[in-house]
Structure 1
Amino acid sequence: MSSVLITGASKGIGRAIAIELSRRGHRVIATARHPEALAELPVDQRLRLDVTVQESVDQAMKDAGEIDVLVSNAGETIRAPLESVPLTEVERLYQINTLGALRVAQGVLPAMRERGAGRLVFLSSIQGRMVLPMIGPYGASKWALEALAETLAIETGHFGIKVSVVQPGAVSSGGGERAKVFLRENDPYTPLYEALGALRGESVTPEDVATVVADTIEQPEPPLRVPVGAPAERVLRARKEAPESEPFLTTEINW
């Protein structure tokens, strides 16, 4: 069984992944900014890790020991129109969702390269291949993450390292409900924000995502991109088939 380090394991998808991998017999190293939130997880190690702080990543790498698989899950989202979203919030999302993922990957890659084996699994989204209004900063951070992941697949593949990007659609993890919303009083984009529900479509559970992640880790030759569930597969197929000459939206909305 593999030794797996998971970022953002205190709740939602990360917590479900930790439980599923432990159930399958893997050695799980669960990490979070507040490790006390990991107390009840049935894992081998519980470590403090803030993906935005290099010293925190360095210390977690030392404490974790040998890591066969990195599951890069830590992430956040917001709701705001691009016209007025605070740029500090966009920078924060990139620090967590994109640079944080790369920072931890840089922490595990040297040892994997020396051993000639390793797995990197990045939690992305269907929004890593398409966009949704009012969630643009999150989507942009996931597009960037997918570019980094695909580059890593090319750069590190001949060292025996396999890279996968897992792409769920809507997940019933509570992340969207916890997202900060940046709308002014009488904001002209409020009707569009209120229409977002029409775009979410059918959701999957954190446990559904965890099963796909665990199956991907256990595949001898995992694919680069792994959609989670039929809804994500349909949307990504439609995006691929849509003309590049105009914006793509999964469904028409009135606002």
Structure 2
Amino acid sequence: MPSVLITGASKGIGRATAAEFAARGYRVIATARDPRTLDDLDVAERLRLDVTDQGSVDAAVAAAGEVDVLVSNAGVIFLGAVEASPVAEIERLYAQNTAGAIRVAQAVLPQMRERKSGRLLFVSSLVGRIVLSGNAAYAATKWALEALAEALAIETGPFGIHTTLLEPGSVSSGALDAPLTYRLPDDPYPALAADSLDRSSALSVEEVARAIADAAALDEPPLRLPIGEAATALLAARKAAPDDVPFVPGA
């Protein structure tokens, strides 16, 4: 029975992913900063894991035992124009979304290298490849994660370890229902990502969870995997767009 360790399993995508892997017969190690939030999940292990705390990560990975698949999902978000975004808050996002994701990957890699097998699945985002107004800080953490994960794929591929970045578009996870938002006085930047998103086509957390579990089962998984029609179309358009044309705001 393969085992999967999931970070940020207390709610949203992480919680749905834990349930999906359990339904498929995996030994699921669900983790969260407060493991009491996992009490009603039908999984093999419920562990405390704070991705920003090295001691917490080391203790959780030691308690988890063999980990065949890592689903790195824990993350936070805020909205704000770049000028309005407190640098300390940007650093907080990097600490969790980027450094935290790599911290957990580093912790499971030694055993995967020794076995010469393993899967690293990073929950990135459509905005890991594009940027929306008011969402630059979150997007930047995902762009950075994508660079680090791509390097991991190159470095650990010879050890039989597969790395995949999952890139969903808008997800009805509740994260943007009432997001932390920063604005300047007499705000000159009124348009924020949450204001302009079309949520009518948002993916459910269960749809994203199924895509993550499907990716874990692929023999030759891609490095990047868009999730949902909107993400697939937007990323294809971004790839096709030339980089050497003048930038026209609002175009």
TM surpasses 0.5 = yes
In 2, Cα distance between equivalents of 1:248 and 1:209: 33
Could you tell me how far apart the structure 1 residues matched to 2:72 and 2:136 are? Answer: 21
Among the aligned pairs, what percent are the same residue? 54
The alpha-carbon deviation at position 62 of structure 1 amounts to: 1.1
Against the structure 1 CA distance between its residues 70 and 147, is the aligned structure 2 distance closer, same or farther, given a 3 Å change threshold?
same
Secondary structure of the 2:5 match is strand
Q: Quick check: 1:62 aligned with 2:62?
A: yes
Match of 1:196 in 2: 195
Residue matched to 2:160: 160
- Bigger Cα displacement from structure 2, 196-205 vs 113-122: 196-205
Equivalent residue, structure 1, for 2:182 = 182
Distance of aligned partners of 1:177 and 1:157 in 2 relative to their CA distance in 1, 3 Å threshold: same
Q: Is 1:121 aligned to residue 121 of structure 2? A: yes
Matched, 1:232 2:227: no
Structure 1 gaps, min length 5: none
After TM superposition, give the deviation of residue 219 of structure 1 in Å. 1.0
Matched, 1:219 2:221: no
Return 5+ residue gaps in structure 2 as ranges.
Answer: none
Distance 1:36 1:200 in 2: 31
Q: Deviations over 1:141-199 (max 9, x none)?
A: 00000001110000000001000010000000011124210113421112x12883256
User: What SS does the aligned partner of 1:46 have?
Assistant: strand
Structure 2 counterpart of 1:53: 53
Q: Distance in 2 between matches of 1:28 and 1:94?
A: 27
Q: Are the structure 2 counterparts of residues 184 and 218 from structure 1 closer, same or farther at C-alpha, using a change threshold of 3 Å?
A: same
181-190 or 54-63, larger mean C-alpha shift: 181-190
Q: SS state of the match for residue 177, structure 1?
A: coil
1:10 equivalent in alignment to 2:13 = no
CA shift for structure 1 position 2: 1.3
User: 1:106 corresponds to which residue?
Assistant: 106
Q: State the one-letter code of the partner of 1:212.
A: A
Q: Return the letter of the residue paired with 2:202.
A: S
1:76–1:179 Cα contact (<8 Å) kept: no
TM-score w.r.t. the length of structure 1 is: 0.94
Kindly indicate whether the alpha-carbon contact (under 8 Å) linking 1:170 and 1:201 is maintained by their aligned counterparts in 2. Answer: no
Could you tell me which residue of structure 2 aligns to residue 91 of structure 1? Answer: 91
Confirm or deny: 8 A CA contact 1:130 1:248 kept in the other structure: no
Structure 2: which amino acid aligns with 1:106?
Q
Where 1:175 maps in the other structure, the secondary structure is: coil
RMSD of Structure 2 on Structure 1 (CA): 1.7
- The question of 1:132 aligning with 2:154 is answered no
Deviation by residue 1:117-138 (Cα, 9 ceiling, x = unmatched): 1000000001111111100000
CA contact (8 A) 2:79 2:193 kept: no
**1:61 Cα deviation from its structure 2 partner:** 1.0
Aligned to 2:145: 145
Deviates more, 1:216-225 or 1:177-186: 177-186
TM-score w.r.t. the length of structure 2 is 0.95
Deviation, structure 1 residue 201: 6.7
CA–CA distance in structure 2, aligned partners of residues 29 and 219 of structure 1: 21
Alpha-carbon distance between aligned partners in 1 of 2:52 and 2:229, rounded to the nearest angstrom = 33
